């Protein structure tokens, strides 16, 4: 039973679904998955925080139509903060060549002191990550399905499970797990394939590590993609891609599966051309 079954009107911690309020271009790729709740009568209810981070927090949200248990889903809501609360150490290197659509917004984003500029930059990162997730999903990359973006909030597929106590918990990060050797080997092939999808799109993740990969059972899911870099246009892209390879290969080697970062880099980089 949904926790919303007894609600007639939005209560504290609850809002009307924003699905119908956002433009079509702010929704995820079609066809929409069957679990997406699109009804205007749906309510969004906050269920707690999944993750706190330097640039954004991720909350667990239930979207459901009261009284209809067939129209129910869990979403991860990633909400970017203003720049004064963020610590992207290399903002300029990640955003090299990126421009906002409106000249006024670009000028504001370039002003690091104004509150409007900070808000614009936060929204810009949300838009970039949402667009990247949509492209990656359509290309077959193992990323959460992007449901919608609204200002500084991205709603996406919740990747996790229900514990024995009935509480919903996010899938652990790769850095937290100690899988069996055969699972580790499967993870390595999945990771190689996923990085290849990025490369064939002309991208590198830019900040890939065992902390930005979820271990959903025997399936890997890559998260946190606002800083994807263009392998052709960015002067930092090759450096970032090689760092991604080193970060991931270090984890595999520590789990008993010797993996050469230079070999992985050569394999992935070759797929971009």
28 versus 7: the higher-pLDDT residue is 28
Name the burial class of residue 124, with classes exposed (0-12), middle (13-18) and buried (19+) by CB atoms within 10 angstroms of its CB.
Answer: buried
**Structure confidence by residue, pLDDT tens digits, 93-113:** 555 544 434 444 444 344 445
* Cα distances (Å, whole numbers) of residue 101 to 98, 109, 123, 235, 270: 10, 11, 12, 23, 32
Average predicted confidence (pLDDT) for the chain: 86
pLDDT digits (tens, 9 = 90+) for 155-198: 999 999 998 888 999 999 999 999 999 999 999 999 999 999 99
Name residue, tokens 């899938």: 171
Instruction: Give the C-alpha separation, 82 to 114, whole Å.
Output: 11
Domain ranges of the chain: 14-162, 171-270
- DSSP code at position 27: B
Mean pLDDT of 34-53: 95
How sure is the predictor about 53, in pLDDT bands with cuts at 50, 70 and 90? confident
d(CA 24, CA 26): 5
Q: Which CATH number fits domain 171-270: 1.10.10.10, 3.40.190.290, 3.40.1390.30, 1.10.510.10?
A: 1.10.510.10
Q: Tell me which fold the domain 14-162 belongs to.
A: Phosphorylase Kinase; domain 1 (3.30.200)
Cβ neighbors of 200 (< 8 A, separation 6 or more) are 139, 271, 272
28-42, 85-99, 122-136, 178-192: range with lowest mean pLDDT: 85-99
Q: What is the pLDDT of residue 101?
A: 44
DSSP three-state, residue 78: strand
Q: Is the pLDDT of residue 4 over 70?
A: no
């Amino acid at each position: 039973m949904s926790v919303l079954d007894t609600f007639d009107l939005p209560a504290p911690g609850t809002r009307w679904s924003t699905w119908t309020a956002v433009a079509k271009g702010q929704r995820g790729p079609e066809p929409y998955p069957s679990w997406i709740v699109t009804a205007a009568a749906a309510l969004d209810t906050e269920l707690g925080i999944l993750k706190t981070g330097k640039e954004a927090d991720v909350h667990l949200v239930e979207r459901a139509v009261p009284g209809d248990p067939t129209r129910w889903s869990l979403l991860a809501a990633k909400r970017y903060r203003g720049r004064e609360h963020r610590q992207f150490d290399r903002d300029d290197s990640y955003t090299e060549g990126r421009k906002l659509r409106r000249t006024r917004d670009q000028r504001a984003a370039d002003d690091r002191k104004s509150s409007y500029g900070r808000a614009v930059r936060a929204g810009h990162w949300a838009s970039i990550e949402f667009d990247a997730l949509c492209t990656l999903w359509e290309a077959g990359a193992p990323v959460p399905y992007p449901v919608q973006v609204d200002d500084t909030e991205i709603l996406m597929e919740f990747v996790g499970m229900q514990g024995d106590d009935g509480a919903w918990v996010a899938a652990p990060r790769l850095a937290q797990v100690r899988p069996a050797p055969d699972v580790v080997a499967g993870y390595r092939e999945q990771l190689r394939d996923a990085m290849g999808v990025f490369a064939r799109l002309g991208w590198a993740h830019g900040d890939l590590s065992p902390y930005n990969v979820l271990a959903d059972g025997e399936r890997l899911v890559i998260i946190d993609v606002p800083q994807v870099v263009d392998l052709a246009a960015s002067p930092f892209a090759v450096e970032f891609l090689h760092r991604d390879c080193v970060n991931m290969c270090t984890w595999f080697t520590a789990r008993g599966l010797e993996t050469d970062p230079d070999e992985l880099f050569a394999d992935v980089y070759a797929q971009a051309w």
